[in-house]
Structure 1
């Protein structure tokens, strides 16, 4: 089987790699190559998957749709020449008559259609939850959006209905059902984002009487925005420590491996946190490579090697991130968020995220309001159960990569 993976972002690259790994477990006859349309394709390189065309990080980090200035920066950085070279490579590969797996949004989908060969599509960017829920349209959904009938626009649906499109794998059941009404070959195979969440470091369970409230801190993965978000998150942390004096607290901060840790350590030290250099790890996530800070009895773990462990061990998150937030919600846990200065995590992005993820994400105006939401949440077991059910429904079941791989092998 010949396969070309097209993806437009690091998260999408990771999803494509998961499907490739599932395919490799099921067949020895696989010739696979990839094209990361956005970014340098680190996930593909790590899995020894060849890249068929030039790949380059753009100044915007892939968020040109949010800001015309970011688009102009990318154009000046060579976006047009890069895109033309990538399209040429895809058209050339299409002559080999293999299968394309497009992951992301309209961009890889359009590339796949232009290839003149068969393609499938994993839709990570769009969900009907942006416009409606199981009951009906959301109040903010415009008359125009309702007339269009789906979060997938008519021209996108044309590409999804094309005779060369051999399967569409939406991110949730609601979106699958709506696309099927438009006679699109959509399959509810689950959400690949929820695959592979295996702990990298040991998670130690505490005695119930001594158990700390474990808070996940997610500042995002793109510099310099992540560093700015970190400062805001630490404001929320400071308020929690001051006001939650009766509860033992522990914070986990998984930082993207591509980021320098110094800009995250320095604000901690400026706020009175001290680095633990004398004892072995004492947080429930026992990451030997992590940096453990303490302030009184409170612990905070900075790690670049135990992301999944931190997600699995935490009770709630303070998040200003995209994919990581969605994965945490999919585990059935609550997220509290507030807008930053962008370019990604603005009020517009945060508000859209609350529509996508529903009751699982609580949007507040400023960091100082986080502690009140925590108190409300943990005094309301029914609300926590609703959040758990909602998250698992909206993010879908795991093992989707294996199901998608099985489908690809039918051709």
Structure 2
């Protein structure tokens, strides 16, 4: 929580709907496939309930590969903000992209995260945003289980199917009380910033 990246990107200025979701498809193998599945789930959300969508793009990830996997087109128009990577769109669904260095900006402007990432999931939960994830074939099941024991209800695990992801997302989007409750669970489980200062204090003592 002491190292959440914040960059030059005004996510809140791009908000158009009451709620927003940040996509964290990861930075390793299967990133494009995970992103495509997240987008497929979003397409199943009724347009009247669909949130604003943000995407944090890790430095090793190709935007062109993401666009191709999800059948989206990249909008070439960029702002002057250094972390702005433009948009992906199919004419109905729009995904606002920012560099991973501005991930904190996106999460703070969102209400839910859909995450296949590691550290970014922990940071999202610590910021009070419940996460929806699915197990992919390359996940180490023992590690995944250990993480889930820490995260508790704050990280919702579903099958890697667009319908199940969409159902979980829609439930959080339409249930403010539950979304708030799970956000608090995440904050309680992860804790806030201050670890670095505590460690330094012990070293100096």
User: Shorter-chain TM-score category?
Assistant: 0.7 to 0.9
After superposition, the C-alpha distances for 1:197-239 in whole angstroms (9 at most, x for unaligned) are 353123253699x4353211122222x2323323332332332
Identify the residue that residue 387 of structure 1 maps to in structure 2.
182
> Shift of residue 391 of structure 1?
1.1
Alpha-carbon distance between aligned partners in 2 of 1:238 and 1:349, rounded to the nearest angstrom? 31
Q: Paired residue for 1:337?
A: 133
Alpha carbons 2:87, 2:94 under 8 Å: kept: yes
Quickly say closer, same or farther: Cα 1:293–1:378, change in 2 above 3 A.
closer
Q: 1:212–1:248: 8 Å Cα contact kept in structure 2?
A: no
Partner residue, 1:74: none
Cα distance in structure 2, aligned partners of 1:207 and 1:263: 24
> 1:267: which partner in 2?
69
CA contact (8 A) 2:42 2:50 kept: no
Q: Which residue of the partner structure matches residue 96 of structure 1?
A: none
* Partners of 1:207 and 1:292 in 2: CA distance: 11
Distance (whole Å) between structure 2 residues aligned to residue 349 and residue 394 of structure 1: 17
Structure 2 counterpart of 1:251, from 47, 53, 61: 53
Answer yes or no: is 1:196 the counterpart of 2:14: no
CA deviations 1:305-329 (Å, max 9, x no partner) are 4222122222111111211111101
Q: CA deviation at 1:348?
A: 5.1
* Alpha-carbon distance change, 226 to 198 in structure 1, aligned in 2, over 3 angstroms: closer
2: distance between equivalents of 1:370 and 1:363?
9
- Counting matched residue pairs gives 203
- Normalised by the length of structure 2, the TM-score is 0.83
Q: How far did residue 293 of structure 1 move?
A: 1.5
Given that residues 337 and 350 in structure 1 are in contact (C-alpha distance below 8 angstroms), is that contact kept between their aligned partners in structure 2? no
Q: Under a length normalisation based on structure 1, what TM-score does the superposition of the two structures give?
A: 0.44
Q: Distance in 2 between matches of 1:215 and 1:204?
A: 11
Q: Which has the larger radius of gyration?
A: 1
Question: 2: distance between equivalents of 1:229 and 1:205?
Answer: 25
Which structure 2 residue ranges, 5 or more long, are not aligned?
none
1:229 paired residue number: 34
Cα distance change on mapping 1:196 and 1:239 into 2, 3 Å:
same
Deviation of 1:297 (Å): 5.0
Deviation of the 1:247 alpha carbon = 3.0
- Do the aligned partners of residues 248 and 362 (structure 1) sit closer, same or farther apart at CA in structure 2, a change above 3 Å counting? closer
Distance 2:41 2:60 in 1: 25
Within the candidate set 359, 373, 385, 2:153 is matched to 359
Residues 1:220 and 2:33 are matched in the alignment = no
Matching of residue 307 in structure 1 with residue 113 in structure 2: no
Task: Say if 1:351 and 1:363, in contact at 8 Å, map to a contact too.
Answer: no
Structure 1: which 5+ runs fail to align? 1-193
After superposition, the CA RMSD in angstroms is 2.7
* Structure 1 position 296 matched with structure 2 position 91: yes
Which protein has greater RCO, CA pairs closer than 8 Å, 6+ apart?
2
Deviations 1:143-193 (A, max 9, x none): xxxxxxxxxxxxxxxxxxxxxxxxxxxxxxxxxxxxxxxxxxxxxxxxxxx
CA drift at 1:378: 3.1
